[in-house]
Structure formats: structure tokens, C-alpha cells
Amino acid sequence: MSSPYTGSTSAGPPSGPSTQEIQVQGNVTAPFPQEQPAYPQEQPYDDYSGDRGTPMTAEGRPDVEGTTVGQLLGEVSKDLSTLMRQELELAKAELTAEAKKAGQGAGMFGAAGFAGYMVLIFLSLALMWGLANVMDVGWAGLIVAAIWAVIGAVAFVMGRKKFQQLHPKPERTVDTLQQVPGALKPH
């Protein structure tokens, strides 16, 4: 099995003569492999920066003497690409978690809406049967239906007004995106 860090290191136990003998119950000895790191590092990361192993100076800055501008730009573009890829993965993970929470919340709102609907049905039936004590059942049902028609009409008018105030174009985002090309130009 190859390691994603070094390209060819096996993750299994080390092979070869790197064993020591250990004493097991009594004076019997058995070979026991020495512990080695699963992913040995070829070079310590303390004295190098980036994947390409740019040497570091004593002050902690990359030693770029003898490195071409093209190589430096290549390393910078690779680092930026890696950073963007990692940021996208982070955003995707955060959005997935938030979408799951939103889905659960929407399910709870749906259940609450259905329960409210059932309450309204039974309250309407109770009102109808209560009015049936003073008048005919048909007229009581008609009065309850008229009350719900008025409530529905008011809700429709208010909803239509809210939709007319809606602006589907994200104006602030469009404004900031129009400023990006100017920010990239040297001044």
C-alpha cells in the first residue's frame, strides 16, 4: 500500500533485519520488530517550506537564492490552488452540516404546520357544532366557511404584497464583484 505522503512507503510492519530479541516468560527469546514510524519523513519540515522543500534561512525566511522567478511563481500558484481547494472543501463541509440542520428544522416546521392545520379543523368543527345549537347546521357550516374565506383573502393580499417587495437580484454581491477587476489592477 502506498502512502499519500512519500509515494511508496508500506503501512505494514517493516521488513528486513531490523528486529531485536525480547524475553518472553522464562528464558525464551523471540524476534520482535523495532517500532518505526508508519510514514517516515525523508527531510524534516523545520528547515524547509512548502511541498517542494524550499530551504529556509536562519531568520526563518525561504532561501530563494538560485531559484528562478518561474519556479517561485509556480510554487505560489500551487500554494494558492491548494488553499482555494481546501477552502472549497471547508465551505462544502460547513454547508452540508448547515443544510442538514436546516432540513431537520424544516421537518419540524412541517410537523408543526400539520398539527396547526388539524387544530384549525377541529376548532372549526367545534364552532360549527356550537353555532348549530342556535341555528341550523347548514347555516353554521356556511358561517364558519365564510370566516375562513375572509382569513384566506387577507393572507393572500399580504403575501402578494411581500412578493412584490422581493428583489431577486443580489445587488450587494453584484456591486462587490464589479469592484474585483479594479482591485486587481496595479495603481
pLDDT tens-digit series, residues 112-168? 999 999 999 999 999 999 999 999 999 999 999 999 999 999 999 999 998 888 777
Minimal CA–CA distance to 3: which of 32, 42, 45? 42
Q: Where are the beta strands (DSSP E) in 114-179?
A: none
Taking 80 as the threshold, does the pLDDT of residue 54 lie above it?
no
Q: What ranges do the domains of the chain cover?
A: 69-166
Minimal CA–CA distance to 42: which of 13, 76, 8, 75? 8
- What does pLDDT average to over the chain? 75
Taking 90 as the threshold, does the pLDDT of residue 56 lie above it?
no
Taking 50 as the threshold, does the pLDDT of residue 75 lie above it?
yes
